[in-house]
Amino acid sequence: MSSSEEWTHPGPDAVPATGAAPTAEQVIAGLKATDEGGSDLVQLLTPEGERVQHPDFAVDVTAEELRGLYRDMVLVRRVDREANALQRKGELGLWAPLLGQEAAQVGAGRAMRARDMAFPSYREHGVAWCRGVPPTDLLSMFRGTDQCGWDPVEHRFHPYTIVIGNQVLNATGYAMGQRFDGAVGDDGGEATMAFFGDGATSQGDVHEGFVWAAVYDAPVVFFCQNNQWAISEPTERQSRLPLYQRARGYGFPGIRVDGNDVLATLAVTRWALDQCRTGNGPVLIEAFTYRMDAHTTSDDPSRYRLSDELELWKLKDPIERVKVHLVKQQWADQEFFDHVELEAEELGARLREHCSSLEAPPAERIFSQVYAEGSPVVDAQRAEFLSYHAGFLGGER
Amino acid sequence: MAAPTVDRADAGAPAAVQTLTIAKAINSGLRAAMEADPKVIVMGEDVGKLGGVFRITDGLQKDFGEQRVLDTPLAESGIVGTAVGLALRGYRPVCEIQFDGFIFPAFDQIVSQVAKLHYRTQGRLKLPIVIRVPYGGGIGAVEHHSESPEGYFAHTAGLKVVTCSNPADAHWMIQQAIACDDPVLFFEPKRRYYEKGQVDTTAAPGPLFASRVLREGTDVTIAAYGPVVRTALEAAAAAEEDGRSLAVVDLRSLSPLDLGPVYESVRRTGRLVVVSEAPGEASLASHIAAQVQQECFYSLQAPVLRVTGYDTPYPPAKLEEEFLPDLDRVLDAADRSMAW
Ligand SMILES: Cc1ncc(C[n+]2csc(CCOP(=O)(O)OP(=O)(O)O)c2C)c(N)n1
């Protein structure tokens, strides 16, 4: 696929090809919103670990590359499980688990090039990994010692954004800048990725981002991880239509990819980024996946979803299918898997150790960097604060 | 209505007196309002099956159905904007904004439409909308979960803004806010959600838009609202041990402000400390200070002091103890006032 014009998309009245056409009641009940998309779902590696072909998104991976993607996912999952456990031990105030979304994030993250820019929400630990953000840097916000633990310029990975949808407009503006700067047009061009959830697609900011990106041909890939839930609300609370089909209304391609398939996600995202960097404007990707854990460590999913659903999705585990494929192909032996496991253990230990070493910053941090050019009001308050604290014995309260 | 600090749980208390948390008290207030008026509907993110992230709407969808307790799409402008339309259609929507920092996507609808339609139509359109907002810090949360945005709304003409500090008020004020024909922003002190107190579900409540003296005193008046009312009461108790008498006024209504009881108390004490978690610059606390110096100029023996959050964004959670007005800062301000 070389240009957005060539992108063939179902007509406005077409229903996704799921076999039998749905009844009107099904559509009205919003059942389409969570339908897997049938033949529209791009998949390259089945849950059973079989390689399958897709006419538009061929991808050639070497054994080494696939082992790399496997390793990424295992390590990212370990970071996630470790941080989740740290929260349970009271070491973190909160954690937003990514369990189940490793393939979506690693596929997208590994499709990016160094010069591309990423705007995450708050669950993109796997993308952070691919951007070279040390996993330990993810902890400070969740521990409450800081609000962004990494250098967003160095890693080209924006701070986590908590307010749903805000970053989509920010990403679009950044991409507009890339275009205005002449940084798009050929294979050496830049692109931007905006990450958000299915719930976020209801926010005005996200719609506005779509409009802006289309109008200005901004080189931005809108990467929606449809993990089926926005806290307690299923996707049909946000949309009647499969989310990827919305793109058509804004005038750019929308693709639904199996978000538990790292190869398909990689291929589709690479394609989309190439569209962007060569000047063809935005693309929406809906990575169809599942949040296997709670929304955050404060959430109780047993109140709103059935364990059957979870069991079903366990069969689609993004890591297992790669492992099966590697074994079947004889691309990896036990030694390799043991080695990755060992790496994961070490990473986990490093994370635990780092976490407890993260101290609260000095209280003056309250007043630091409120403004780029300072403010006499803040300066006066800092001075007052310090002298007030000096009044307590040894600074103790 | 008796101050909630008064203990009435003794034998012989009427059966209608229950011990509830603020969270449960709002829930029971919502339930009572929904039972009383079929036009009352609750809407917001996760308010249905989950019962809201703080469980304030727990059980309501089960009992009142999906058309009266709406799990809305995830969009605050959408929640408030559609509530306007529903209100025009005769409903009394109670919107939940999940956390303080997420009210801003709805800001435009609140200040442009909710606040002004009654005025623009010279009373032909009424907007009996309640917007519930868990607010304030102290729960160790990540950013946007600990803010005190009430000042923006008190600043906007056409809105009424109230906040509760105890279960009895929580139970009654939410019902009164829902019954009010004007739009009401109902700020809930989230770090106090699980504090218990007595609620008399039969005794007639006092007026909604009124402040209340919780504790008489002769040396310094403390005016506070929401989460820091308790801090002020604790400061008053601590000061008493040192032989100092602090009066505590719970403002309850932030717009309109009912400063009468504050003036009265200041005329007795000659001193005022205003306590609020919100940053102080251009704030409610500043406004109260200005009003009091205007009305009580000849009674004041010290300038009005403010103990507020600092004029910075809300800091990382590990520093919030330093940011939030605490007992020490309130006592220190009282000392400074006395030393004048
Ligand atoms: C503007 C705004 N409203 C509400 C919230 C509270 N909140 C945090 S995450 C979330 C659900 C988001 O769901 P989705 O967009 O599907 O992303 P996911 O967390 O599933 O990845 C909500 C309602 C918020 N952070 N920001």
What average pLDDT does range B131-135 have in this prediction? 98
Mutate to test the interface with A, among B49, B50, B61 (most CBs of A within 10 A): B50
Strands, sheet with B130-135, edge to edge from the N-terminal-most edge strand: B69-71, B40-44, B92-96, B130-135, B184-189, B160-163, B253-255
- Predicted local distance difference test score (pLDDT) of residue B12: 52
Give whole-number Cα distances, B184 to A23, B150, B156, in Å: 43, 12, 12
- Cβ atoms of A169 and A212 within 8 Å: the answer is yes
pLDDT in tens, B259-283: 999 999 999 999 999 999 999 999 9
Query: Where are the strands (E) in chain B, listed by range?
Result: 17-21, 40-44, 69-71, 92-96, 130-135, 160-163, 184-189, 196-200, 212-215, 220-224, 246-250, 253-255, 272-279, 305-309
pLDDT in tens, B285-299: 999 999 999 999 999
pLDDT in tens, A288-307: 999 999 999 999 999 999 98
- Cβ atoms of B185 and B162 within 8 Å: the answer is yes
pLDDT in tens, A319-336: 999 999 999 999 999 999
CA distance to partner chain B, nearest, from residue A373 (Å):
14
- Predicted local distance difference test score (pLDDT) of residue A14: 41
Of residues A19 and B224, more confidence is placed in B224
A396 — pLDDT class (breaks 50, 70, 90):
low
What average pLDDT does range B326-338 have in this prediction? 97
Query: How far, in whole angstroms, is CA A329 from its chain's centroid?
Result: 29
Alpha-carbon distance of A227 to A126, in angstroms, equals 15
Alpha-carbon distance of A295 to B74, in angstroms, equals 15
Alpha-carbon distance of A319 to B47, in angstroms, equals 34
Q: Do A233 and B46 touch (CB under 8 A)?
A: yes
CB of residue B105 inside a 6 A radius of ligand 1 = yes
CB of residue A209 inside a 6 A radius of ligand 1 = no
Neighbouring residues of B246: CB distance < 8 A, sequence distance ≥ 6: B215, B217, B219, B220, B221, B222, B232, B235, B236, B239, B240, B334
- Predicted local distance difference test score (pLDDT) of residue A391: 84
Neighbouring residues of A272: CB distance < 8 A, sequence distance ≥ 6: A111, A221, A253, A255, A283, A285
CB of residue A298 inside a 6 A radius of ligand 1 = no
Amino acid letter for position A110 = R
What average pLDDT does range B67-81 have in this prediction? 98
The tokens describing B331, both together, are 């006592």
Q: Do B49 and A232 touch (CB under 8 A)?
A: yes
Q: Whose CA is nearest to atom 25 of ligand 1?
A: A163
CB of residue A211 inside a 6 A radius of ligand 1 = no
pLDDT in tens, A169-205: 999 999 999 999 999 999 999 999 999 999 999 999 9
Mean pLDDT of chain A: 91
B39 — pLDDT class (breaks 50, 70, 90):
very high
Q: Is the pLDDT of residue A8 over 90?
A: no
CA distance to partner chain B, nearest, from residue A349 (Å):
23
Distance B75 CA to ligand 1 centre (A): 9
- Predicted local distance difference test score (pLDDT) of residue B203: 86
- Predicted local distance difference test score (pLDDT) of residue A5: 37
What average pLDDT does range A276-282 have in this prediction? 96
Q: Which atom of ligand 1 is nearest to the CA of A163?
A: 26
Provide the Cα torsion B186, B189, B190, B194; round to 10°: -110
Residue identified by tokens 């910053």 is A361
Strand, coil or helix: A172: helix
Q: Do domains B6-200 and B212-339 have the same CATH topology?
A: yes
CB of residue A198 inside a 6 A radius of ligand 1 = yes
Give CA angle at A121 (A116, A126), nearest 5°: 65
For chain B, helix (H) and strand (E) counts, in that order, are 12, 14
Query: How far, in whole angstroms, is CA A283 from its chain's centroid?
Result: 16
pLDDT in tens, A116-167: 999 999 999 999 999 999 999 999 999 999 999 999 999 999 999 999 999 9
Residue identified by tokens 């919107």 is B95
* Cα dihedral across residues B312, B318, B319, B324: positive or negative: positive
Identify the weakest region by mean pLDDT among A25-39, A146-160, A216-230, A342-356: A25-39
Give CA angle at B3 (B336, B261), nearest 5°: 50
- Predicted local distance difference test score (pLDDT) of residue A192: 98
Strand, coil or helix: B271: coil
Q: Do B46 and A231 touch (CB under 8 A)?
A: yes
Alpha-carbon distance of A373 to A390, in angstroms, equals 27
The tokens describing B228, both together, are 């820091």
Q: Is the pLDDT of residue A19 over 70?
A: no
B15 — pLDDT class (breaks 50, 70, 90):
low
Domain boundaries in chain B?
Answer: 6-200, 212-339
- Cβ atoms of B144 and B98 within 8 Å: the answer is no
Alpha-carbon distance of B249 to B262, in angstroms, equals 7
Largest Cα–Cα separation, chain B: 60
Of residues A47 and A30, more confidence is placed in A47
Q: Do A232 and B75 touch (CB under 8 A)?
A: no
- Predicted local distance difference test score (pLDDT) of residue A15: 42
Q: Is the pLDDT of residue A34 over 70?
A: no
- Cβ atoms of A219 and A192 within 8 Å: the answer is yes
CATH architecture of B6-200: 3-Layer(aba) Sandwich (3.40)
One CATH from 3.40.50.920, 3.30.390.50, 3.40.50.1820, 3.30.565.10 for B212-339 = 3.40.50.920
Number of C-beta neighbours around residue A210 at 10 A: 25
Strand A229-230 versus strand A254-258 pairing type? unpaired
Alpha-carbon distance of A269 to A110, in angstroms, equals 9
Beta-carbon pairs below 8 A across chains A and B: 119
Q: Do A204 and B78 touch (CB under 8 A)?
A: yes
Considering B118, B145, B155, B171, which one is annotated as catalytic?
B145
- Predicted local distance difference test score (pLDDT) of residue A180: 97
- DSSP characters for B211-222? -EEEE--SSEEE
Q: Using CB atoms within 10 Å of the CB of residue A65, give its burial: 0 to 12 exposed, 13 to 18 middle, 19+ buried.
A: middle
Give this prediction's pTM.
0.92
The tokens describing A168, both together, are 């989509």
CA distance to partner chain A, nearest, from residue B60 (Å):
14
- Predicted local distance difference test score (pLDDT) of residue B4: 40
Q: What count of Cα atoms within 13 Å lies in the side-chain half-sphere of residue B167?
A: 22
What average pLDDT does range A218-225 have in this prediction? 98
What average pLDDT does range A9-20 have in this prediction? 43
pLDDT in tens, A349-364: 999 999 999 999 999 9
Helix axes B167-179, B22-36, angle to 10 degrees: 30
Q: Is the pLDDT of residue A50 over 90?
A: yes
